[in-house]
Structure 1
Amino acid sequence: MSNEETMSSMGELLNEYDVKKLNRGEILKGKVIDVNDKEASVNINYAFDGLISKEELSVDGKDPRDVVSTGDEIDVYVISPNDGEGYVELSLVRVLEIKEKEEIKESFKEQKNITVKVKEETKGGVIAYYGNVRVFIPGSLVSRQRIELSTLVGTELEIRITELDFRNKKVIGSRRVIEEEEYNKNKKVIWDSLIEGEKRSGIVKKLVKFGAFVDIGGVEGLIHISDLSWERVNSPEDVVKEGDSVEVFIGSVDREKERLSLILKDVTKEPWTVHSEDIKEGDLVEGKIVRLAAFGAFVELFQGVEGLVHISEIADERITKPSDVLEVNQKVKVKVLNINIKEKKIALSIKEAAETNKEYVNYVDNEEEEGTSLGDLLKGFKFN
């Protein structure tokens, strides 16, 4: 057949299909007529069938038979009107990419979330795909919490596009921004629910010199070292450890500055309240010296209840400093001079307790001769 006859036959064939000349980049509708492990043939209602290679069917090297099936109607992208072997070279990946790019543009413009699949870990983050569009998620934007990037490979993540520049192939996504929004939303609900004095369960997150930070389910509060126990605490580690589960009371709540104070010691067992009826002015009691200062000595009368013996009330003779005659953990008899439960202050005297003891001893010696019992003499006095 001559060239003229060939061209005539080609023209008749094209006229029969009534199609225009195909151009690179066109998107056509087609129907899969055959598929094998290397490629898929597509009827595009043209003089020649189209052919989609395995690489142009998916970006992750799937078997073509897992991507399309005979009879599927699909949109295809024209790579070349003639591949040199009588077929139109087509792509499914590229037409999908065009649609997916449009969806990404819309989600970026409206700040909507999209779901991507993480394919691999790379330097500084992970590579994910939205269909056939590559998305980079920096490690700092993967989560608001520390996470091993390798554990994300093969998983799906809901993210938001934060930077978009298709021309320079720059598509940046963030999971962290979504988590931050959820956290802040939940945090507001929690802050609004906090009631002073209420008891909550929490986890000790961090210990510092002045106390412990505890998470009570979305917000963190500080237990000051003085609120860890009714007893004197030298270091938070003496009471709690990081990771401990604790029951705490809500102290003060500052919603505007998002500051929360917590109390670990049981507020219902506040020593000054518990022992308010056990101490009266004039009582003679025994206590333990817990601290020495230049101006006097602090004496623990009950666990969590301390009083001060001023330096002038330690002994009859003048002393330079309390440590000259007293030492920490020493047990002493003291007399209650004054008590202020509201301000949690007690004034004590060691020298008056000693004088009172002498008076009682002398009185007892005299009265015993007259038949008075020791029990009668000590009525009204308290000794611990």
Structure 2
Amino acid sequence: MGACGKSDPIYRASQRRVWHNQGDTQVSEQNTEMGMNPSTDDFATLLEESFAADSPIEGTVVRGRVTAIENDLAIVDVGLKTEGRVPLREFSMAGQPAQIGVGDEVEVFVDRIENAMGEAVLSRDKARREESWVKLEKNFEADERVEGVIFGRVKGGFTVDLDGATAFLPGSQVDIRPIRDIAPLMNTPQPFQILKMDRRRGNIVVSRRAIMEETRAEARSEIVSNLLEGQQVEGVVKNITDYGAFVDLGGVDGLLHVTDIAWRRVNHPSEVLTVGESVRVQVVKINPETQRISLGMKQLESDPWDEAASKFELNSKVTGRVTNITDYGAFVELDNGIEGLVHVTEMSWVKKNVHPGKIVSTSQEVEVMVLEVDADKRRISLGLKQCVENPWEDFSSKFPVGTKVEGEIKNITEFGLFVG
């Protein structure tokens, strides 16, 4: 190994040990000899001491005191040969004024001990970033909320200041529903949930939507716990679908199924309801596990089937309106909420194997006879042909058995002839 020069750290360390002991009564000859002729172990010890003595504070966070405020700069003393200047904006949250004054203690990041101007180069932003990452990692591990400020827009989302650390807020994580104007949310402190962190790459992804969903779930649980089955409540129609309407009950939605809108047949909820309309509904069922709420409007009115048997007597003739036609018959509305079925076999005395749509049409007013009433099953059997004379009875009276008649051959089959 070559001789130690005066610029060598081991030489300087050995000399410091000697000069440090000059205040003693005697200078240790042993130390002097070790400094001049160090062993291998002494080399290691002296090298370690040299690095410790020369270790700079550059690249670390230190505590300092604000000594003055000049224009938009804070003069900070961190115990170095010179003070440093830090822009006031680095002491403020995004969109907020700086809250700092002379005499305040602050933590700053030392970029350089001295620049070309002879001043210490300090940064509050970098210190806050270092502090924030430590805190944010703890928040992330504990699944805790953090406070931040949306201050910028980038491709695919927005930037959020988390007390010094910059995070990315995807556009899909801003709210539960898409927001057209985000201006009211900018520069306002609000809670966020950290979804992902990567300190090596300096990436943080946050969500505002997760906070809103959690808050909404808490509010929903509270509202649901105060509702009772059978209770009547006011709500606003929020959305209409083919199978029903969603009603906002003040923070929680309930489903008003199409079959529970009215006692009568409702083909589509839009026939009765409109979005934004205020409605009074009854809580039909609450599922405590899924927190789903089933609502009803028809339950607020008396059930027309309660008086169906007394109102529609057997063999009585009534007038109704055809509401629906199927392959097996036609449904006729006799009263609000009460429909009966005219089976295809009860439609005509003479027309066989004919589709009901060729005998009656939707919305047609028809006279029918009540053949059967089953209030428990909510069924009424009706007859259309019973309201006209039976041509077979008239024929049998005109042409007794044995009478000779003339007619036209209508059809020929293997088993006989049809004569009309």
TM-score, structure 2 length as denominator?
0.67
Equivalent in the alignment of 1:111: 143
CA contact (8 A) 2:95 2:187 kept: no
Q: Is 1:157–2:190 an aligned residue pair? A: yes
Q: SS in structure 2 opposite 1:249? A: strand
* 1:101 correspondence with 2:133: yes
- For the pair 1:202 / 2:235, whether they are aligned, the reply is yes
Deviation at 1:315, TM superposition (A): 5.5
Cα drift, residue 214 of structure 1:
3.1
Judge which range, 48-57 or 146-155, deviates more: 48-57
1: distance between equivalents of 2:177 and 2:281?
Answer: 25
Q: Does 1:174 align with 2:213?
A: no
For structure 2, which runs of at least 5 residues remain unmatched after alignment?
Answer: 1-52, 390-420
Q: Is the Cα contact below 8 Å between 1:58 and 1:92 reproduced in 2?
A: yes
Residues 1:135 and 2:161 are matched in the alignment: no
Of 193, 204, 219, which residue of structure 2 is paired with 1:186? 219
C-alpha contact (below 8 Å) 1:121/1:153 kept by paired residues: no
Equivalent-residue separation in structure 2 for 1:313 and 1:62 (angstroms): 79
- Give a deviation string over 1:68-105, Cα, whole Å, max 9, x none: 32222333333222224443333333333322222212
Q: Distance in 2 between matches of 1:23 and 1:324?
A: 97
* Secondary structure of residue in 1 paired with 2:298: coil
Structure 1 counterpart of 2:68:
34
CA distance in 2, matches of 1:331, 1:38: 86
Q: What amino acid is aligned across from residue 84 of structure 2 in structure 1?
A: L
Matched, 1:228 2:261: yes
Query: CA contact under 8 A between 2:238 and 2:247: conserved in structure 1?
Result: yes
Residues 280/30 of structure 1: CA separation in 2 closer, same or farther (3 Å cut): same
Secondary structure in structure 1 of the residue aligned to 2:376: coil
CA distance in 2, matches of 1:291, 1:77: 79
2:378 to 341, 344, 350: 344
Decide which moves more: 306-315 or 335-344. 306-315
Q: In the alignment, what sits opposite 2:335?
A: 302
Secondary structure at 2:212 match in 1 = helix
The structural deviation recorded for 1:342 is 0.9
Contact between 1:196 and 1:252, CA under 8 Å: does it hold in 2? Answer: yes
Q: Is 2:104 the counterpart of 1:72?
A: yes
Q: Which moved more, 1:202-211 or 1:121-130?
A: 202-211
Counterpart secondary structure, 1:178: helix
**CA distance in 1: counterparts of 2:289 and 2:100, whole angstroms:** 57
Distance (Å, rounded) in 1 between the aligned partners of 2:94 and 2:101: 16
> Equivalent residues in 2 for 1:306-345 (5 A)?
306-314=339-347, 317=350, 321=354, 326-345=360-379
Of 96, 101, 114, 1:82 maps to: 114
Size of the aligned set, in residue pairs, is 336
What SS does the corresponding residue of 1:128 show, helix, strand or coil?
strand
Distance across 1 between alignment mates of 2:307 and 2:256: 22
Shift in CA distance, 271/70, structure 1 to aligned 2, threshold 3 Å:
same
Q: Which residue of 1 aligns with 2:3?
A: none
Whether 1:270 aligns to 2:313 is: no
Q: Against the structure 1 CA distance between its residues 310 and 83, is the aligned structure 2 distance closer, same or farther, given a 3 Å change threshold?
A: closer
Question: Which stretch has the larger CA shift, 315-324 or 219-228?
Answer: 315-324
Q: CA deviation at 1:254?
A: 4.0
CA RMSD of aligned residues (A): 3.6
Residues 112, 122 of structure 2: 8 Å contact kept:
yes
* Counterparts of 1:111 and 1:225, CA distance in 2: 42
Q: In structure 2, do the counterparts of structure 1 residues 163 and 293 end up closer, same or farther at CA, with 3 Å as the change threshold?
A: closer
| CA 344–100 in structure 1, closer or farther in 2 if over 3 Å, else same | same
How far is 1:135 from its partner?
1.5
Shift in Å at residue 192 of structure 1? 4.5
Distance (whole Å) between structure 2 residues aligned to residue 29 and residue 323 of structure 1: 90
Return the offset for 1:140. 1.6
Distance 1:274 1:83 in 2: 97
Following superposition, the deviation at residue 292 of structure 1 comes to 4.5
1:297-346 CA distances to partner (integer Å, 9 max, x unpaired)?
A: 43332222122344554555565545666555454444433211111122
Counterpart of 2:403 in structure 1 is none
Deviations 1:252-304 (A, max 9, x none): 44444555443233443222125453233344434344445555443332222
Residue 158 of structure 1 deviates from its aligned partner by 0.4
Which amino acid is the alignment partner of residue 264 of structure 1? M
Per the alignment, residue 287 of structure 1 pairs with: 320
Aligned to 1:14: none
Q: 1:61 & 1:314 partners in 2: Cα distance?
A: 79
- Secondary structure of 2:265's partner? coil
Q: Are 1:51 and 2:80 counterparts?
A: no
Q: Which deviates further from its counterpart, 313-322 or 276-285?
A: 313-322
SS, match of residue 119 in structure 1: strand
Matching residue of 1:12: none
Residue of 270, 277, 282 corresponding to 1:237: 270
The residue type paired with residue 50 of structure 1 is E
Q: What is the CA–CA distance in structure 2 between the aligned matches of 1:123 and 1:268, rounded to whole Å?
A: 55
TM-score (normalizing by structure 1): 0.73
Question: Counterparts of 1:76 and 1:308 in 2: how far apart (Å)?
Answer: 85
Change over 3 Å in CA distance of 1:275–1:157 after alignment to 2: same
